[in-house]
Every structure is written in structure tokens, then in C-alpha cells.
Amino acid sequence: MVAQLLLTILSALAAVRGCDDNDAHNHGKRPTPLIPLTPPSRPLEWGDINIIHTTDSHGWLLGHQKESFPEPNYSADFGEFASFVQRMKDIAIEKDVDLLLVDSGDLHDGSGLTDGYPAGDVNGHDANRFVRQIPYDVMTIGNHELYNYNVTLDMYKNFVPNIKGHYLSSNVNITTLDQEENPLNVPVGKRFAKFTTRKGLDVTALGVIFDFTGNAQNTTVQPVADMIREEWFAEAIEDEPDLFLLAGHMPVAKNKWPLVFDAIRAVHPLTPIVILGGHDHIRDCVQLDERSMSLASGRYMETVGWMSLKFDSCELEGGVTFNRRYLDANRVTYEYHTGRITLAKKFNLDFFLGTSPRDYLKFMAPYPSEDSLLSLFIEKASPFATSLNNTRASIPKLMIANTGGQRFDIFKGPFTRNDQLTSMPFTNGWLFIPEVPLAIAEQVLPALNHAGEPHGRRSELYAQGNVEERFSAWLEEMDRRAGPERREAGNMTLGYVTTDACPGEGDDTLHAPLPFHAIPDFIGSRPPPGVAADAPIDLVFLDFIAAQLLAILNTLQQEKEYTMDDVAEYASVKTNEVLGVYARHAWR
């Protein structure tokens, strides 16, 4: 069964690596990365109950394939992860302890395996066929399963039934139709689950999402404060298990977990509680009391989280010792911790678009600069891509975009369709206002950045699922702690250097911290050369920022009150296509 599972996953992943020539190629197990990887610093600490945790994978089943650090740290593909999981389960049996596998949501949006689906299909449907074959004990829903009703419905009909009753959506419902075509409002998964581990320990599990407001019509997200007052919740936690396992798409710090935690503690003051969260894309750990631990395990299959609980006596009423570790997801890590070498494209994601001449970085390079991903996007790629087959191409223009849509760096070397989609997966469109005086248009970008995102707007965006501010703040703090001595870090490779609220060191592999450069909320193309200040130009911008841009524009001049009636589509090319169009032109 295990061999068949791995063969299915690896064969499917190999099929995605299609070729567009007639040469014979070997699409079997991927070779070991050519760049030497730092092995883990110490063995894992096993306990009586052990947990492997993933979250915010966003379709990164192919692994990180570029040679610029920190990418090789996260180079394991999903077949290698599957093999790692099975070997760890074998080790747990050898040690006569329990091992649970938990995922905290966001399987969709962010990789070509999810976003590169053919027209008429559903985002993530094919990729999730592989995910559901991994023997997860508990899974929960994320906000990226809720933006599009067809995605939620696909999860409800085709994914959840294959998770053996342990896909949890404690505060999320979907409205669908019953057999008589009547509306039916039901949980996407189960409200909670109770099960017994291989070693006979009783577990009560819940799956909670944060107070998300960006969900699609015909889906419902109940606020956490309301959920804990439900009768079913009181019944779920009434009986005392050996462990409460709270999996959920919610940050483990500065969010609503304490509400759930305190509700349980009011009934069971001593029962061990494990919280496995996510959503902010960071590695993090806190302890709400001495008999609990809360862990978040990063993003994009960069991190595999590990937690162990060791009971200090034969009686569960005794003390509990917790350990946690953040594992870099690569073959060296997997081999180190299992003592065994692991095994290693329907969407044509390896389709070659060009060869990137350098690394283009979002946070690790200053903006503007030749190495900045933001400079590449707004100064070169977007002006070129939107000019093709455009009757307005000869009219001078100024382009403005927000920076939240740039999701991932571009690295030197082959640039494929998968790279195109991982760097900019969103399908925003380009709009424009004609005949805006250049002098006025040039004031829009600094005014937008001066205003920034108002506090209320930032809270609203976060409630709708935007985590960029939290993630960048984490990177900035990591860089600040490094200080001016960063370059004296010896021969350690660049990577995450985590500081959290739990005792001891959490990072499994030691790294030098990543450099960080602050970026503005909004970026713009260079002003058109040789154009007089009072000359009319096309002011081009993304549909995502239309409302805020119009408001700013109306504060900068009094000649006209601009509304959406003055706005039109500028180009048919979408943001997730821009870099690919440019690469085929400039990097061939």
C-alpha cells in the first residue's frame, strides 16, 4: 500500500515535468541537489505523543527547485515528504509511541499545480488528489479554501469524504442542495472529532479558522467568540480526553486561540492541549500555560513542524514536557531524521519561458534596484506586457501597482511557467484613466504611499486573509536581531532564524538570517521621458487598488471628480501572465 502510494505521487509529479521536445528524458527520482545542504543540528526528541505538522502549503508539491539560497533548504517534493511520513510512522512503531499527522489549511493558491489548472477545471482539484493520499489524522480548512465557492464545494464533495471523518471545520459551513434540490447549510467537514490513538490515548480535536470575512457567497464563517457558545461545542469538550488537539487556520499568537483555550480550561484545567495553527506564514510557538503548546509551521512546504509530548509519569495527571522543532523540508533533513534515503506534469509547469539573468528578490534586495523583484515587475515586465496588441501603446503612460500581489522571488536560471505562477499567482487586471496631466499623475504614487493602508483597512485586509504585513514584520525583526554582525556568521547558509515564546531553540537547522529591505505599499513605473508636465497621459493601475487610487486622485486636483465611470480596461493581460510574457521576450 505504501509503495503504491509513493509510486502514484511520484509518477504524477513526474508527469507534470513534461517536455516540449521529442528527446528522451529521465523523469524518475530527482537527483540530489548539487548545492550542499546543512544537515540538522541534532536528532529529534521523541515523546509519548509526537506530531508532524504542515500548514499553508499552497500547492507547493514540487518543492523549491532553484539553486539560490534559501531555496535549496526547501527542495523536497511531495513524494519525498510522503516517504518521510511513512518512515517516521515506522519509527514510531519501533519506539512504541504515537505519531499524528496534522495539517492546518490553505492547500490552494500559490503554485502552478493549483493555479495552472486547465479551463473548466477547479483550482486545486488535481493537486489535492495527492494530498488526500497522505495519512493525515486531522486536517482543517483555510481561507484559501473559501474565496471561491466552486473550490469549497469541490472540497466538500471530493476531498472531505476521503479524510475518514477527520477533516474539521468547526466554524465553517457551506450551503449546497439536498437530493430534493432544497438549500442545505452544513459544515464543510465535521465540527469536531474524537478518536483513539494506536497506543490507546483518547483525543478530542477541533478545526477552527480565524474570523475570516473574505469568504465566498454561500459559505459561512462563524466568529470564534460565537462558536464557543454553541451547544455542540460544550458537548464536544464535556468529556475529558487524554489530549485536546486544536488544529486551525489561525496564528498561534495575537489571535482568537485564547478564547477556545480558556473555554476548555474552564472545564478541564489540567488536560494537555496542543494548538497547531498557521495563516501568517511564519514559524512560531507560544505556551498559554505549562500544560499546552501552540505551534505554527511556516508556509509553501518550506517547513515541517514537529512537536512531542512526554508524560513525566505513568499517570497522565503528572507533568508534561513539550518539545518543538522547525524542520527544513529537504532530502538531507528527511534522511537525517529517518536514517533512510527517501524516494523521489499534467499542467506543463516546466514549460520553458526564458533564463533569468539574476535573482530578483522582494525583501532581500533594496527597492528600487536591478535586483528588486518589484522593480522588474513595474518598470520592465508590466510596461512591456501591457503594450502588446494594445491600441494605446503609443500613448505615454504611468503605471501603479500594490506590492502585496508579488508572492515569491525569481531566481537566476531557467524560468518556467511554474515560476511565473508562484511569483505572481493573482489574476488582477489593468485599468486606466485617460488624459490625466503628467504633473498630477506623478503625485498619485507618493500620495498613496504617504497614506499607506489606513489602520482600519489593514485590519480589514487581514480579516480577508492578507498576511503579507505580518510575514514581512517577522522577516524585518529577524534581520534587526542579526544587527551589523550579520556578515560574520561564518559559513552558515541563509535561512530562517526563529525566536519565539517557547523555551529552548526551535530551528532544526542553523542558518544566517536573511537580509531584509523595507518596501513601500505601492510602486510605479518610471515617468514617460520627454513629456511636458501638463501633457495628458494614461494613468494605468491594478483593479485591486482602484477605489483608493480614485480617492487620492480627487484630492490632488479640483478640475474633475473622477469616478469608476472614467475608468476602462487597459490591457487583457493579467498580472499572473506579465512575467511570463516578459521572459519570453527578454530572457530567451
pLDDT tens for 447-493 read 999 987 655 567 777 888 888 889 999 999 999 998 766 655 567 89
Q: What is the pLDDT of residue 389?
A: 93
Domain annotation covers residue 93? yes
Q: Are residues 213 and 359 located together in one domain of the fold?
A: no
What residues pair up with 354 in beta bridges, in sequence order? Answer: 415
Do residues 327 and 366 both lie within one domain? no
Phi, psi dihedrals of residue 12, rounded to the nearest 5°: -65, -40
462 within some domain: no
Specify if 482 maps to a domain: no
**Alpha carbon distance 455, 552 (integer Å):** 17
User: By residue range, what is the domain housing residue 127?
Assistant: 2-38+49-338
Q: How much is the average pLDDT of 259-274?
A: 98
End-to-end Cα separation, the chain, in angstroms:
44
Model confidence at 315: pLDDT above 70: no
pLDDT average, residue stretch 216-227: 98
Measured in whole angstroms, the distance separating CA 384 from the mean position of its chain's CA atoms is: 29
pLDDT digits (tens, 9 = 90+) for 62-83: 999 998 999 999 999 999 999 9
What DSSP assignment string belongs to 41-57? Answer: SS-----SEEEEEE---
- In the prediction, which pLDDT does 483 show? 79
Claim to verify: residue 277 and residue 211 sit in the same structural domain: yes
Instruction: Supply the mean pLDDT for the chain.
Output: 91
Kindly tell me if the per-residue pLDDT of 141 is higher than 60.
yes
CA angle 28, 33, 35 (to 5 degrees): 165
Confidence of residue 28 (pLDDT cuts 50, 70, 90): very low
Q: Is residue 434 part of a domain?
A: yes
Last residue of a domain, one of 303, 338, 373: 338
Task: Examine the domain organization and report whether 360 and 322 are in the same domain.
Answer: no
pLDDT at 17: 41
Residue 371 lies inside a defined structural domain of this protein:
yes
Q: How confident is the model at residue 316 (pLDDT cuts 50, 70, 90)?
A: low
Q: Are residues 325 and 374 in the same domain?
A: no
Query: Do 438 and 558 sit in the same domain of this protein?
Result: yes
Q: Is the preceding peptide bond at 70 cis, omega within 30 degrees of 0?
A: yes
Q: Could you tell me if 542 and 430 are in contact, meaning their C-beta atoms sit under 8 angstroms apart?
A: yes
Check whether residue 316 and residue 366 sit in a common domain: no
Residue 182 lies in a domain: yes
Shared domain for 394 and 534, answered yes or no, is yes
At 2, is the pLDDT very low, low, confident or very high (cuts 50, 70, 90)? Answer: very low
- Within this chain, do residues 28 and 171 fall inside the same structural domain, yes or no? yes
Do 101 and 198 fall within a single domain? yes
Q: Residue 514 falls within a domain, yes or no?
A: no
Q: Which three cell numbers stand for residue 236?
A: 464536544
**Kind and range of the H or E run holding 316:** none
**Whether 32 and 132 share a structural domain:** yes
| Cell numbers standing for residue 108 | 490552494
| pTM of the shown model | 0.82
Backbone angles phi, psi at 522, to 5 degrees: -135, 150
Q: Are residues 267 and 368 in the same domain?
A: no
Q: What was the pLDDT predicted at 12?
A: 56
Question: Which cell is 237 given?
Answer: 469538550
Torsion of CA 32, 38, 43, 46, to 10 degrees: -70
**pLDDT tens-digit series, residues 425-435:** 999 999 999 99
Mean pLDDT of 125-154: 96
End of a domain among 270, 303, 338? 338
Looking at the 3D structure of the chain, how many domains does it have?
A: 2
CATH number at residue 331: 3.60.21.10
Is pLDDT above 50 for 27? no
CATH number at residue 535: 3.90.780.10
Report if residue 366 sits inside a domain.
Answer: yes
Q: In the listed set 296, 316, 338, which residue is the last one of a domain according to the structure?
A: 338
Strand partners, 187: 173
Of the ranges 23-37, 76-90, 309-323, the best mean pLDDT one: 76-90
**The pLDDT value given to residue 307:** 98
